[in-house]
Structure 1
Amino acid sequence: MRLADVAVQPVLIHPVTPATLAAVLDTLGGAAAGWAAVQGYKAAAGSVLLVPGPGPAPAAVLFGVPDEGKGDLLAGGALAGLPAGDYAFAPGFAAEEQAAIAFGLGAYRFTRYRSGEQKEQPRLHLADAAMLVRVRRIVTAVAFARDLVNTPANDMGPAELETAATGLFALHGGHARVLRGDTLLSENFPLIHAVGRAADSARAPRLIDCTWGDETHPRVTLVGKGVVFDTGGLDIKPSSSMLLMKKDMGGAANVLGLAHLVMDARLPVRLRVLVPAVENAIAGNAFRPGDILPSRKGLTVEIGNTDAEGRLILADALALADEEAPELLLDMATLTGAARVALGPDLPPFYTADEGLAAALAAHADKVADPLWRLPLWQPYMKYLDSKVADLNNVNQSGAGFAGSVTAALFLSRFVEKAGAWAHFDIFAWTPVERAGKPAGGEGQALRALFSLLSERYPAN
């Protein structure tokens, strides 16, 4: 993707609807109308048709958009499948920026472990330099998050996740402090330590604490679950459930992608990112079902299941974040299978008690086609977390396994008191079946919606 170059004559992409198709074909002239008829092209949203030209390059591209003309962000990802060459949208396309973002998202490929020559991809030219900056910002941040999720656990352990986070903040002039291994105990992060202590010493648990921006600006804190691989611990997962557990650090990947957007856009906030990075491994010193563990906040937690480890490490990180009472506190985590059962892989639920924040999140998710759906912090279900021997249990004790995503969010809510507003996002961070704009594999979820919201609340100068 690059700025329009007068030395290159790109093939024009013409947005069409069923109502405008005939008129556009008339402007193209020649055999365009006949070709479209032969191909049965009806300008359905997201459909693409190459109109042949006199040479190897097409004369034009027809791109179906919705009737209302707003454009469909993800449908534009179909354009990433065009043959190698140079392309540009026809002048006057109102949704050019949205479609360009979709083009970039759809063009993503994870090639780190693929040998041989990679297929040349199409290039999209944008005439507006400012638009190009905005589009590249989004596409780069999502690709950064996807790369982290797609990298297997042998190459994405706690140390590598630390390097990715600290390197990102160093790139933007930020700072980082990292607590590793037994230092977590002396610094009062017992839950993070307990979850990660069974891993090899080279993959010791750690808390990555990164900051950026003017200390006088509003405080925005992001917390991301960084479980680089989850065996389930002593409550071990079956092998089929471990196949995607490299993505259990998807919350960390997505908050880092969001941080990249915030810093690159120079939003006037005091940004803090907290990533508890652990491997939930099995060894003689692994934490056990029935253990009672202290937390940073002082609450004791009975372990009902060692496979509910993400909420434990988030609890300590959220407690730390909450201590400085940020204006906005957001956490992202691949936390529960129950969220996928309820809403599927493409629609992450979010939880917040702040009605204004909830409405804004829904509006921005719709605006940028980054879907989210609010689920309730239903207080009567808090009783499911009761423990007879500790302040709370880490899993639902009802015996029926009901409301798994809701009770996980309620557990986290016990560790947040002072923040001006808090929201929890139970994301999947994965696209199981490829479709326009969303290659199969690691995915950025909620980060575009959140960046849209933050850009509106804290506009750059």
Structure 2
Amino acid sequence: MSPLIERKSGKRTAIPIEMVDVAGMLATEARLDDAQRQWLVTTAFRPMPGALTVLPDARGGITRVLVGVDRGNPLAALGALPYRLPQGTYELAPEGVIDDRDLVALGWALGAYRFDRYRASDRPPAQLVVDAATLRTLQPVIDATWQVRDLVNTPTEDMGPEHLAQAIHAHAAEHKAKVREWVGDELLEANFPTIHAVGRASHRPPRLIELTWGKNSNPKLVLIGKGVCFDTGGLDIKPSDGMRWMKKDMGGAAHAIALAGLVMKAKLPVRLTLLVPAVENAIAGNAMRPGEVIRTRGGHTVEVDNTDAEGRLVLCDAIAYAAEQAPDLIVDFATLTGAARVALGPELPALFTNRDQLADHVIGAAEFTQDPLWRLPLWRPYRRMLESYVADFANAGPSRHAGAITAALYLERFLPDSQNWMHLDTYSWNDGDRPSHPRGGEAQGLRAFFRFLSERYS
């Protein structure tokens, strides 16, 4: 059941929801009758963010809902209500202290998400009535966000490299795009050695999936997503608590796939390429070993210091391949480092880019969409942390300092100085429930980057 439904002409039957805060509460109370004001006293309602009360009518039904909100956080205003309110149809009251009704409605829809592939939901969400224009604007973003969450939440048995390929083929069929794949030893024949090295130990062969769409005359945009469908750490095996949620290590691929779908649905005037290197970092007799040296597609030799720093290995061949095409912009998404989470926490993805103008633009889009990002520096003196005595450089090093930065610096080595590039190190996960952000897989930066691309290529 869709959490948003289009308003139809005729009699209004939806229950109004009024957003209130301390500053506006006196005006709200002035509109209520004596019995309703007494109800607020009886229920000890205080208009703090998250507080909720329903006002009964004379027949025992609901005549109005009051919900406390933070004016500065419209996305979260109603994000918990689809399952806190009884099933039924609701609408935003004309009164209310938040003006950005689209963000409020989006927050409602994002809070209505449930991952029900393996366990049915107890009940459908309450529905919010919106006008047709709002629904047209929001529905593609809602669908894309839910796709990211579904892909990340799905266990690896049902979300291996071939399943990521299926998701890309589905977008291609809908938007008349072309898909090409290199699978297994085809990666070696086509000079994608690091993708092959990371994924060769799995019973499911590694692959690189390429989707292309759009007119050749349009500026070229490349989106890349890290598709490590499960990460054991390889021979540098993770402890059990570090491995528990590694089904989500393809979160970067989920973001790139969903963003590509948004770009094609919006018909942005770009020549789009989507690249997803899809692997499992598994353990077997032929697994990649610490100390091995790989000659990458970009021509650099890389010493494998740590097999658990595999994401940058699968990405570097894809980035080198993208750079060969000299696009206007390359954007990669990856659940790349725990260091980014230590630095910024789980809710704030780390943004890296080699262009200040790009950073300013996408951070502005992030603020507008309430989809936060935070820029970290490409501090190039830290390249020394990836030095190797047998290869051009290593994929990791002994220092635990600046792990997110050194990972980004590793990726940057595969780009010419002239290439516009952005890298998002995203957690792709909610550790617990928050309004509009249920526990589990999460889209972080998706809305910000879609608005940024829409403005850049409008």
Deviations 1:401-454 (A, max 9, x none): 111111000000001116642111110000001110000000001111111111
8 Å contact from structure 1 (residues 10, 87) kept in 2: yes
Matching residue of 2:91: 88
Contact residue 18 and residue 95 of structure 2 kept, 8 A = no
Residue 197 of structure 1: how far off its partner (Å): 0.6
1:215-255 CA-partner distances (Å, limit 9, x unpaired): 21121111000000001111111111111000000000011
Contact (CA 8 Å) 1:46, 1:72: kept in 2 or not? no
Q: Secondary structure at the match of 1:104?
A: helix
Residue 457 of structure 1: how far off its partner (Å) = 1.6
TM-score by length of 1: 0.94
CA contact (8 A) 2:110 2:142 kept: yes
Name the amino acid aligned to 2:366: A
Q: Is the Cα–Cα contact under 8 Å of residues 217 and 270 in structure 1 kept in the other structure?
A: yes
Across the aligned residues of Structure 1 and Structure 2, the Cα RMSD in angstroms comes to 1.6
| 2:151 maps to 1:152 | no
Residue 75 of structure 1 deviates from its aligned partner by 3.2
Please name the residue that 1:357 is paired with: 358
Residue number in structure 2 paired with 1:105? 110
Number of corresponding residues: 451
Pairing of 1:12-411 with structure 2 (within 5 A): 12-55=16-59, 57-67=61-71, 71-81=73-83, 82-91=85-94, 94-115=99-120, 118-127=122-131, 129-200=132-203, 203-396=204-397, 399-411=398-410
Q: Which segment drifts farther, 186-195 or 251-260?
A: 251-260
Structure-2 change in CA distance of 1:222 and 1:55 (3 Å):
farther
**Do the aligned residues in 2 keep the contact of 1:323 with 1:418 (CA within 8 Å)?**
no
Moved more, 84-93 or 275-284: 84-93
The one-letter code matched in structure 1 to 2:102 is E
* One-letter code aligned to 1:270: R
In 1, the alpha carbon distance for the partners of 2:264 and 2:417 equals: 25
CA distance in 1, matches of 2:133, 2:172: 24
What displacement does 1:371 show? 1.1
| Deviation of the 1:63 alpha carbon | 2.7
- The 1:265/1:419 distance shift into structure 2, 3 A limit, reads farther
TM-score by length of 2: 0.95
Structure 2 distance, partners of 1:347, 1:131, is 27
Structure 1 distance, partners of 2:406, 2:212, is 30
Q: Which amino acid aligns with 1:273?
A: L
The structural deviation recorded for 1:19 is 1.9
Distance 1:39 1:73 in 2: 26
Match of 2:7 among 4, 8, 11: 4
Distance apart, 1:4 and its partner CA: 1.0
- One-letter amino acid of the structure 1 residue matched with residue 91 of structure 2: A
Counterpart CA distance in 2 for 1:294 and 1:66 is 53
Report the Cα distance in structure 2 between the residues aligned to 1:454 and 1:443, rounded to whole angstroms: 20
More off after superposition, 447-456 vs 184-193? 447-456
User: What do the CA deviations read for 1:353-412 (whole angstroms, capped 9, x no partner)?
Assistant: 21111111221111111111111100110011111110110002xx33111111000000
Distance 2:57 2:141 in 1: 33
Q: 1:330 to 1:178 in 2, by over 3 A?
A: same
